[in-house]
Structure 1
Amino acid sequence: MPYITASGTNFSLSGADVSYRFHVDPRSGDLISDHFGGPVDDFTDPATISNSGWSTGLDNVGTPGLTNIRREFPDVGRSDFRLPAIHISHADGDTVSAFTYQSHEIVQGKPALPGLPATFGNDGDVTTLVVTLYDNYSDVSAALSYSIFPEYNAIARSFQITNNGTNNISIERAASFSTDLPNLDLKMLELQGDWSHEANRVIRNVDFGETGFRSTEGYSSHVHNPFFVLHDPTTTETTGEAWGFNLVYTGSFAATAERFSHGFVRVLLGLNPLHASIPVGPGQTFQSPEAVAIYSSTGLGGMSRSFHDLYRNHLSRSNHTFETRPILLNSWEGLGFEINETSLENLANETAGLGIKLFVQDYLINAISNVIKSANISYIKWDNNRAIHEMSSPAADYAYTLGMYRVMDNLTGSYPEILWEGCASGGGRFDPGILHYYPQSWTSDNTDAADRLTIQLGTSLAYPLSSMACHVSAVPNGLTGRNISIEYRAHVALMCGSFGFELNPSELSADERDAIPSIISTWEQINPIVISGSFYRIAWPSDTNWPAVQFVSKDENTAVVFAFQQFAKIKPAAPPLKMQGLDGKARYSSNAFNGTLSGNTLMNGGVNLPWMVRDYQSMLIWLYKE
């Protein structure tokens, strides 16, 4: 079955469990949103809305305007009083646009985006629809790109604006993904935080008016991630509808869900208009970043696993994406600023004695290519520790971001054998744009295991655990003062693709030193499953005293569960731990129980774990399919 079809100017994109439909309004030439959700087979009539009232947008012959229409690429003016996806300022000061359908083309595969990171795929992986619109008043054209990855229920969108005229224009607003959903009861979930406090779930009602957030830091930032979910109020981890949206961009951004008086919800994700005003001269073309949307009928968990698989297979281009990562030791928390040749040499020797294979040296690299050529370098961590405070013009952020991508593209392309890691004072640039070039990023400067559990689960809503870096740090923790067992700290860190230590080995206790060989042995077993397996959030630390997560191997024969008790409880008893993602009819053996249990028993009945009355306890449970 073709994944994209065009019946005249009715367009259908179909995936394993998603349909995306829109058509051209024969009267206005505008693109009209019809459906984004579960599979459908037909176009149906739109909702009936009264045209009474002052805001209906009647033209001079009484024909309804665009206010009550669900639009795919809303522009400015022409009776639509909602936020636009595209806002262009012309040389004479006019800002009204009238983009109408001109042509379309369906291509196998997916063209690259010039100068920008984006998803990619072969002809069998992805199909692309390009719809060309034209504004004959300003002589400006727009090429809208819709790519569907059917296996992941994913739609990737971007657009180009070409100035065919003789005067300069300026892009004031550019939302890479825009669509109008029907009158649905929706909630918005986003990831909010700050330095060392990233990726906290925030859930809001999508009420009348604008619901959203933005970054103005010049990069994606710790405060907000360029990701959000719209979901039904009854949606859970395992059931219900969810629409996830993610911008493949590292600069300032804006995300909005706007409910108008008729109840329709306009979804916009793209550049922050405060950092736009991007000039486009005669004959030039502006390319928007890409935005990815994934629909799930199996709750937030199904949405996340689709994002994880899509990004590992069709966004991260590193040779290391599916490779087991080396264990490393970072000198920062071990030595701080007390760095000299002797201290680094001693630390490296201590590290080698523990079996750790990679050692990170914190120093400034002035000429990256020359340094790479001058030594046998296999790992580089690229940090960013300052927002852009004094931006010379609104357009500078877009220009800076494209320049940064050009450097990253050149270096990672020239040295593909190097393992590159992203960082921005922790998780300040944990976004799809960076993931395109670097297979892993430092998730947070907060290495406290209790806090990291929340941060890592929040980040996992969009990003694969294989892309996260997490280390076992010293106790008491430098930020929180907590003194948590090395077992608990290790279990939290082992959940991530890049595992290591953030401490001075010479200061370890005897018990901690004795535990490290066993931790490394466990890492050798777990890391391949973390890198390529499927991830399940069984319970969130903010929802229960007993959070848990689970990985299932790619061949589905092995599963590993990380179970935690945050605080000691005499009563009540912990609830049974119910697994996910197993074969219900198969039987499993485990280190957590004698004999075998069926997948149905483990998922629906669960197992009771023997928790001690003690804070910060953890267990690692292996399940083997018989």
Structure 2
Amino acid sequence: MIAVRGNTFFLSTDNTSYIFGVTDEGLLEHYHYGKRVDVSDEAVTDSVRAMREKVSHGKGTTINYAKDSLTVTEDMLLEVSSVGKGDLREPFILVRYPDGSSTSDFIFKEAVVLDTPEMLKGMPSAIPAGEDVKQLKVVLTERVRPVTLVLYYTVFEKCNVITRRAVLVNSEKENIIIKRIMSAQLDIDEAGLKAITFGGNWGREMKRTDTIVKNHTFVNATASGVSSNRSNPFVMLTKADATEEAGDCYGFNLIYSGNHYEAVDVSGFYKTRFITGINPQNFEWVLEPGEEFETPEAVMTYSAAGFRELSLNMQHFVKRHIVRGKYADKARPILLNSWEAAYFNISESRILSLAKKAKEAGVELLVMDDGWFKGRNDDTTSLGDWTEDKKKLPGGIEGLARKVNDIGLDFGIWVEPEMISEKSDLYEVHPEYAMTVPGRDNSPGRNQMILDLTQPEVREYVKNSMRRVIGAKGVSYVKWDMNRMFSDVYSKALSPVRQGECAHRYVLGLYEILKTLTEEFPDVLFENCASGGNRFDLGMTAYMPQTWGSDDSDAYERTFIQTGYSYGYPMSTVTAHVSACPNHQTLRNTPLDTRFNVAAFGVLGYEINLGECNAEDFKAIKAQIETYKEWRDVFFGGDFYRVDDTQWMVVSPDKKRAVTMIWNGLCNPNEFYRKIKTVGLAEDKTYHVYNVKLRHNIKQFGSLVNQVAPVHVKQDSLMHNTIAKFVKMDGEVEDYTVSGEFLNNVGIKLTQAFGGTGYNSETRLFQDFSSRMYFIESID
């Protein structure tokens, strides 16, 4: 809901209020963003007066806004800030005018409430998705320059989300230079807040970092050309003592896939400013007369009840208003990807062999990863030459897809369309397509270069080459990869004075390509990938409903990575695979059931040579897939909760079914008792809680078996292996029927874990990296 009372604006969601107004000087003053407050018409005047800053005299050596004003912008909560008028904090906008000056003073002109939101023209926006979504359009004009700044606020009531963006319009007779323009700014009347960010590197994405910001400036940013695994654009700003269940929390994200910048700036007056938008580093945009520049859309949410409620707001928003198309609400197929099973060693016979075993296991989609196109036997060659290698695929893509379809599986394919290899037919013919700086050696990255998507002819080449691949009959899934960050950023299509536009124009070019292809192939499931999570953001999610969360498929590492994503993204956007052990990234061994349990909480897939699995593991994988299919609607469509550091839970929207999982790092001898509590169940319902009984391989006990064996058994001997083949140890059984109120507030103490002495069928064998999944069904 949006209410305009005079020059005060009340934006309300189900649980939050965002209020700002216009000062006597025409500045936009921020009043409140937090718990919902309903102000009656009779109380508006006093309420606004109560929220405003009161100034009766000057403040030390600060700068007054104007000669006839005591206003000090450095000590105000503002909706938009600039430089030159006394505000020394991080600015929202920085423009260089034709005379070389950079002072800006944007003042209120008018505002209008739009029943149908205006959408961005060149970038993805959040969509109404059938809901009654209102938008506030606020027009500001520069006090002495013919330049207009338009602010957009879009209210998504049910998700408790408000989005913001800006458009700058140049009505000067000469060019102006945009040095910085953000998407959102939030000023808060306190300091010492905690900035929670998520970053890392390849193979260790989304590691949470907490930073208390008491003064100065804290920055979360990337200049890598992509949203990056170093600093994801999702950021939380919370009370220092906020927890999962309590405390004021703000959450922010950016619907953008390039260089981004988030800053938490605390002033000398102990006010905190948060800004987010395009990274101003190496950014400079020439705005000609009559042109406009639009920023990406920023996403904001608030929770008075800790991280958990904030995460639910973001989950619901992304599911409803970012993900779109055929697969927005459609559960995704279980896939087998060929990468770790074959790497570049692709052939039709190998793919068909994988497909047959995949079908036997219950897999629904076979994906042929890298190595299928002409000359591609390693990562040094052939990117850009998207023609199948007929030696590997004699029947081409369509011939292979038909044979895979005949087996009973859908067929998918891997591509990396934004890249070019120096050893490629494309580079021989069009070296100018590569992003390089003339006269300078290019810095290598994974033996490949980036295609310059700022060039129209390059974009057309990518579209046409992908039309041939994606349009091949039988292709129903595409994994779109991007395995390189930017270096030597330069566009041969831009003049020297416009090189600061290159990185952003690349993103705009990418969006043009993705929009074209996803609209031309609406039935194809696209999966985003950038060496894992190097471009996991809401911009890509608007075109591709799922993203490969990390190249690290180690189950234990994935518990941290997927927990990180869960703060700002629904698990239905995070793909996760069961892979071989030792794991190819860590060489760690983890139990097969743990690998499944962790992956099942994302979009499940397998990345393993099923033909080389032993009979016991293959049988287990088949059972895993059957279980997942039975519970897929809960994993895919449910609300995800972090119960504690080693417990996840997902609950169906109707609260009739749920799954929770606990896991272990390193086990301890003489282990303590463990309890599981639940979150999100209906307290007035009665639930059946149970686990799937495990049967343990006797070799897990090593030589300890001799404590009960009638004869001595040498570890790993023929006798030991023979016994292990026929004798299994029964695992524990957990089976309870209790109320949701009991589960949420009291919980269940689990059976005793093995801790060095004693074992029977009521003992929980919980070794290093073990896990358990518990299923919960309403019986009402």
Q: Which residue of 1 aligns with 2:470?
A: 372
The letter of the residue matching 1:584 is: E
Residue 159 (structure 2) pairs with residue 152 (structure 1): yes
Tell me the TM-score normalised to structure 2 length: 0.77
Q: Among 8, 16, 19, which residue is 2:17 paired with?
A: 19
Query: CA contact under 8 A between 2:259 and 2:278: conserved in structure 1?
Result: yes
> Percent of aligned pairs with the same residue?
31
Residue 258 (structure 2) pairs with residue 251 (structure 1): yes
The letter of the residue matching 1:598 is: S
Q: Among 262, 278, 297, which residue is 1:290 paired with?
A: 297
Query: CA contact under 8 A between 1:255 and 1:268: conserved in structure 2?
Result: yes
- In the TM superposition, what whole-angstrom CA distance separates every residue of 1:226-254 from its partner, at most 9, and x where no partner exists? 01001112211122211000011000000
The letter of the residue matching 2:642 is: R
- Structure 2 Cα separation of the partners of residues 276 and 101 of structure 1: 27
Query: Alpha-carbon deviation of 1:538?
Result: 0.7
The letter of the residue matching 1:408 is: L
Aligned to 1:198, the other structure's residue is in SS state strand
Q: Which residue of 2 aligns with 1:544?
A: none
Aligned to 2:126, the other structure's residue is in SS state coil
Aligned length: 616
Query: CA contact under 8 A between 2:206 and 2:561: conserved in structure 1?
Result: yes
Tell me the TM-score normalised to structure 1 length: 0.96
Q: Which residue of 1 aligns with 2:209?
A: 202
- Structure 1 Cα separation of the partners of residues 576 and 105 of structure 2: 50
Query: CA contact under 8 A between 1:570 and 1:613: conserved in structure 2?
Result: no
The letter of the residue matching 1:57 is: N
Residue 336 (structure 2) pairs with residue 329 (structure 1): yes
Q: Which residue of 2 aligns with 1:430?
A: 536
Residue 487 (structure 2) pairs with residue 490 (structure 1): no
- Structure 2 Cα separation of the partners of residues 64 and 485 of structure 1: 64
Query: CA contact under 8 A between 2:58 and 2:70: conserved in structure 1?
Result: no
Query: CA contact under 8 A between 1:110 and 1:122: conserved in structure 2?
Result: no
Q: Which residue of 1 aligns with 2:557?
A: 451
Moved more, 351-360 or 261-270: 351-360
- Structure 1 Cα separation of the partners of residues 348 and 131 of structure 2: 53
Aligned to 2:254, the other structure's residue is in SS state strand
Residue 7 (structure 2) pairs with residue 6 (structure 1): no
Residue 616 (structure 2) pairs with residue 616 (structure 1): no
Q: Which residue of 2 aligns with 1:302?
A: 309
Residue 698 (structure 2) pairs with residue 599 (structure 1): no
The letter of the residue matching 2:623 is: S
Residue 606 (structure 2) pairs with residue 501 (structure 1): yes
- Structure 2 Cα separation of the partners of residues 492 and 595 of structure 1: 24
Q: Which residue of 2 aligns with 1:407?
A: 513
Query: Alpha-carbon deviation of 1:184?
Result: 4.4
Q: Among 463, 480, 502, which residue is 2:569 paired with?
A: 463
Q: Which residue of 1 aligns with 2:454?
A: none
Q: Which residue of 1 aligns with 2:627?
A: 522
Match runs of 1:528-607 below 5 Å? 528-540=633-645, 547-592=646-691, 593-607=734-748
Q: Which residue of 2 aligns with 1:269?
A: 276
Query: CA contact under 8 A between 1:145 and 1:157: conserved in structure 2?
Result: yes
Q: Among 71, 75, 79, which residue is 2:86 paired with?
A: 79
Gap change, CA 1:416 and 1:123, over 3 Å in 2: closer
Gap change, CA 1:566 and 1:30, over 3 Å in 2: same
Query: Alpha-carbon deviation of 1:61?
Result: 4.4
- In the TM superposition, what whole-angstrom CA distance separates every residue of 1:480-529 from its partner, at most 9, and x where no partner exists? 11111111100011001x21111111221222111111111111022211
Query: CA contact under 8 A between 1:537 and 1:548: conserved in structure 2?
Result: yes
The letter of the residue matching 2:614 is: S
Query: CA contact under 8 A between 1:57 and 1:80: conserved in structure 2?
Result: no
Aligned to 2:139, the other structure's residue is in SS state strand
Match runs of 1:350-361 below 5 Å? 350-361=357-368
Aligned to 2:617, the other structure's residue is in SS state helix
Gap change, CA 1:196 and 1:574, over 3 Å in 2: farther
Gap change, CA 1:394 and 1:519, over 3 Å in 2: same
Q: Which residue of 2 aligns with 1:543?
A: none
Aligned to 1:22, the other structure's residue is in SS state strand
Match runs of 1:102-251 below 5 Å? 102-121=109-128, 124-251=131-258
- Structure 2 Cα separation of the partners of residues 378 and 551 of structure 1: 28
Gap change, CA 1:62 and 1:485, over 3 Å in 2: closer
Aligned to 1:567, the other structure's residue is in SS state coil
Aligned to 1:134, the other structure's residue is in SS state strand
Q: Which residue of 1 aligns with 2:35?
A: 38
The letter of the residue matching 2:592 is: I
Gap change, CA 1:524 and 1:124, over 3 Å in 2: closer
Q: Which residue of 2 aligns with 1:474?
A: 580
Cα RMSD (Å) of the superposition? 1.6
Query: CA contact under 8 A between 2:223 and 2:260: conserved in structure 1?
Result: yes
The letter of the residue matching 2:747 is: G
The letter of the residue matching 1:495 is: F
Q: Which runs of 5+ in 1 are unaligned?
A: 541-546
Q: Among 479, 484, 487, which residue is 1:381 paired with?
A: 479
- Structure 1 Cα separation of the partners of residues 622 and 611 of structure 2: 15
Moved more, 163-172 or 420-429: 163-172
- In the TM superposition, what whole-angstrom CA distance separates every residue of 1:286-338 from its partner, at most 9, and x where no partner exists? 01000000111121111111111111111111311211211111111111122
Query: Alpha-carbon deviation of 1:266?
Result: 0.8
- In the TM superposition, what whole-angstrom CA distance separates every residue of 1:266-295 from its partner, at most 9, and x where no partner exists? 110001001420111100010100000011
Aligned to 1:276, the other structure's residue is in SS state coil
The letter of the residue matching 2:471 is: K
Q: Among 64, 71, 91, which residue is 1:57 paired with?
A: 64
- Structure 2 Cα separation of the partners of residues 329 and 394 of structure 1: 42
The letter of the residue matching 1:624 is: E
Moved more, 34-43 or 224-233: 34-43
Aligned to 1:116, the other structure's residue is in SS state coil
Query: CA contact under 8 A between 1:56 and 1:68: conserved in structure 2?
Result: no
Query: Alpha-carbon deviation of 1:586?
Result: 2.2
Query: CA contact under 8 A between 2:355 and 2:366: conserved in structure 1?
Result: yes
Query: Alpha-carbon deviation of 1:58?
Result: 6.0
- Structure 1 Cα separation of the partners of residues 130 and 662 of structure 2: 41
The letter of the residue matching 1:288 is: T
- Structure 1 Cα separation of the partners of residues 351 and 225 of structure 2: 34
Residue 499 (structure 2) pairs with residue 346 (structure 1): no
The letter of the residue matching 1:490 is: F
- In the TM superposition, what whole-angstrom CA distance separates every residue of 1:515-572 from its partner, at most 9, and x where no partner exists? 11111111102221122111111112xxxxxx11111112111111112122222234
- Structure 2 Cα separation of the partners of residues 521 and 123 of structure 1: 34
Query: CA contact under 8 A between 2:170 and 2:287: conserved in structure 1?
Result: yes
Moved more, 566-575 or 485-494: 566-575
Aligned to 1:235, the other structure's residue is in SS state coil
- Structure 2 Cα separation of the partners of residues 385 and 412 of structure 1: 21
Gap change, CA 1:603 and 1:279, over 3 Å in 2: same
Q: Which residue of 1 aligns with 2:441?
A: none
- In the TM superposition, what whole-angstrom CA distance separates every residue of 1:99-119 from its partner, at most 9, and x where no partner exists? 110010001132211111111
Query: CA contact under 8 A between 1:275 and 1:398: conserved in structure 2?
Result: no
Moved more, 142-151 or 390-399: 390-399
